[in-house]
Amino acid sequence: MNHSRGFIALVLAPALLGISAACERPANPASSNREPTRTLTQVLSGYEFQSEDTRVLQDDPFANPGMLWVDQGRVLWRSKPAPDAPSCSSCHDKKADSLRGVATRYPTYDAETGTLVNLEGRVNRCREKHQRRSAYAYESTQLLALTAFIAHQSKGMSIKVDIDGPARPFFDSGRTYFYERRGQMNLACHHCHERNIGRMLRGDRLSQGQPTGYPAYRLEWQNLGSLHRRLRFCNLGVRAEPFPAGAPEYVNLELFLAWRAQGLSVDAPAVRR
């Protein structure tokens, strides 16, 4: 119950004062021909909202616990899943930085399937198509390790995703999701990550919700986790039914969040509270 009261005291004030949802969000791009514009005047990584101790932990590659998964991913990258199957490095390159820059472009539209895929989806498509093995489960050690290894190669590079052409309907869907109220608390993503940036929620300072550091090591999890794990947690926080990790709704939202974070640098694996 303390959880609920704290959440209501912090972010439900606009609703309790009778401010309508229409007044709280920009127009839905799906109903407008105008190019979308970001509502944030200054774009900040979640790193900027962490304590000094947490930032020091992230910055030290020997102390950052997420680097354990990066090392596991490097081994998986070079290893054949079976004698008759190629390793990832067999197709891409044996160089450790052969995929530098790739993570900055995901999620992206996949013409072959006509769907939007994120980095996890791309790894699993390659595994099924080229290695002829079943897809890794979301949040499995193997998938987290490979995505951490790939994302880490783009560390320091600016996010720049494509939202034009066939990707636009997926982007519009993700943007709508960000501003739609849901759950028993009748809250949207933007209530925390635009309207209450910098305020405290149960010991956490509310950030802009930027996805630059995923997969990320969260101290409360004592584990590495994907962005979709965090999105599910947010759904549960507003008492909404979460989608399964990897669901199209989350991938669409991920594209919107990546567009919203453009100009920020990849910092995976991040450390968060």
Select the CATH number that applies to the domain covering 2-17+40-61+159-272 from these four: 1.10.760.10, 3.40.50.720, 2.60.40.1120, 3.90.79.10. 1.10.760.10
Q: d(Cα 94, Cα 128) in Å, to the nearest integer?
A: 21
**8 A C-beta contact, residue 159 and residue 257:** no
**Of the listed 23, 126, 192, 234, which one is catalytic?**
234
Tally: H helices and E strands in the chain: 12, 7
Under-50 pLDDT residues of the chain: 1-33
Matching residue, tokens 């965090």: 230
User: pLDDT value at position 94?
Assistant: 62
Bond preceding residue 244 cis, omega within 30 of 0:
no
Assess whether 234 carries a catalytic annotation. yes
Q: d(Cα 76, Cα 82) in Å, to the nearest integer?
A: 12
* 2-17+40-61+159-272 against 67-152: fold identical: yes
- pLDDT tens for residues 104-123? 999 999 999 999 999 999 99
User: pLDDT value at position 204?
Assistant: 85
User: pLDDT value at position 95?
Assistant: 63
User: pLDDT value at position 36?
Assistant: 83
Select the CATH number that applies to the domain covering 67-152 from these four: 3.30.930.10, 3.40.190.10, 3.90.1150.10, 1.10.760.10. 1.10.760.10
The residue ranges of every structural domain in the chain are 2-17+40-61+159-272, 67-152
Lookup: tokens for 169: 């309907």
- pLDDT tens for residues 24-65? 444 444 444 467 888 898 999 999 999 999 999 999 999 999
Our CA dihedral for 150, 154, 156, 159, rounded to 10 degrees, sits at -110
